[in-house]
Amino acid sequence: LFSSSVVYRASSHMSKSNEIKRVSIEGNIAVGKSTFAKLLQNAGQDWEVIAEPISKWQNVDQTTPQTVNCPQQSSSNLLQMMYHDPKRWSYTFQTFSCMSRMRTQLQPPPARLLQSTGTPVQVYERSVYSDRYIFALNMFELGCINSTEWAVYQDWHSFLIEQFGHRIQLEGIIYLRASPQTCMERLGKRGRVEEQGIQLDYLEKLHTKHEDWLVSKSTKVHFEHLAKVPVLILDAEVEFEKDSKIQDNLLTKVRHFFN
């Protein structure tokens, strides 16, 4: 099904100086984004992974100055709450996950990367764009985010990108592409407690959203720059976690994408 990889060359769009480049890894739930990100990190010292702040979503600290004297629990699992009651919690979850991602990605890069003489690259696990055009949009279409919440979400999302987008601007997107069935199997194997109720149908919807955005490019995006970001599509249907030959093959495609 996904035997070939399609390369839209990134290099011509990239600056020639050794400024830090930013690339995001996209793909369905459990496709292997963090495994692939670690591969990239280990492949060269010029690559640094900015992991998705999922532990923050599982432990929302409630001890803000206003609540510190209240007898409340000190953290809550917003990821669990969202899966348990999506109509109630999807908007809150999508707000918090996007804000925490933006905060994480806006952190200054480590000195090691700034001093690099090669091509330093920051690798993001997902982006503020998949937050909106994959997950939040899907939840809106499923009726879990209502039209008022969706209008509010889009308003602050656009505003934040206008204000801070230049600091997290992407030079490339790597799309790890696999069938929803394969993602479902990987999701089952990893056994993240919050995800136990996820059905194949949900992964199929997310898969279509990725395809619309990154392959057929039929998703209406609201940021001029985003529509021009080159996309490298990698076949993640094959198990790559323990196969060094497949890993080398994928890494070669990534290097080619950047040179």
Q: Any idea which residues carry the catalytic annotation?
A: 125
Choose, by CB under 6 A, the member of 22, 23, 24, 33 that binds ligand TTP.
33
Strands 60-61 and 75-76: antiparallel
Query: Among residues 15, 25, 20, which one has the least CA distance to residue 177?
Result: 25
Provide the residue type at 99 as one letter.
M
The verdict on 153 binding ligand TTP (CB under 6 A) reads no
Stretch that binds ligand TTP, among 30-38, 69-77, 112-120, 218-226 (CB under 6 A): 30-38
Element (H, E) at 61: strand 60-61
Instruction: Give the nearest distance from C-beta 131 to ligand TTP in angstroms.
Output: 5
**Near ligand TTP in 164-183, by CB under 6 A:** none
32 or 120, CB closer to ligand TTP? Answer: 32
The conformational region for residue 32 under phi > 0 = left, psi -120 to 50 = alpha, else beta, is left
Query: Among residues 195, 101, 90, which one has the least CA distance to residue 149?
Result: 90
Choose, by CB under 6 A, the member of 135, 140, 213, 240 that binds ligand TTP.
135
Instruction: Give the nearest distance from C-beta 211 to ligand TTP in angstroms.
Output: 15
The verdict on 60 binding ligand TTP (CB under 6 A) reads no
94 or 116, CB closer to ligand TTP? Answer: 94
At how many degrees (to 10) do helices 86-105 and 147-164 cross? 0
Query: Among residues 250, 17, 11, which one has the least CA distance to residue 120?
Result: 17
The verdict on 30 binding ligand TTP (CB under 6 A) reads yes
In three-state form (DSSP H/G/I as H, E/B as E, the rest C), the secondary structure along 214-226 is HCCCCCCCCCHHH
Count residues binding ligand TTP (CB under 6 A): 16
Instruction: Give the nearest distance from C-beta 19 to ligand TTP in angstroms.
Output: 27
What does each C-alpha distance from 157 to 78, 141, 154 come to in angstroms? 20, 18, 5
Instruction: Give the nearest distance from C-beta 207 to ligand TTP in angstroms.
Output: 12
The verdict on 94 binding ligand TTP (CB under 6 A) reads yes
Q: What sign does the dihedral 208-209-210-214 (CA atoms) show?
A: positive
Stretch that binds ligand TTP, among 5-13, 29-37, 113-121, 217-225 (CB under 6 A): 29-37
27 or 172, CB closer to ligand TTP? Answer: 27
88 or 112, CB closer to ligand TTP? Answer: 88
CB-based contact 212:141 (threshold 8 Å): no
CB-based contact 112:184 (threshold 8 Å): no
The verdict on 207 binding ligand TTP (CB under 6 A) reads no
Interacting residues toward ligand TTP by CB under 6 A: 27, 29-34, 52, 54, 79, 94, 97, 126, 131, 135, 195
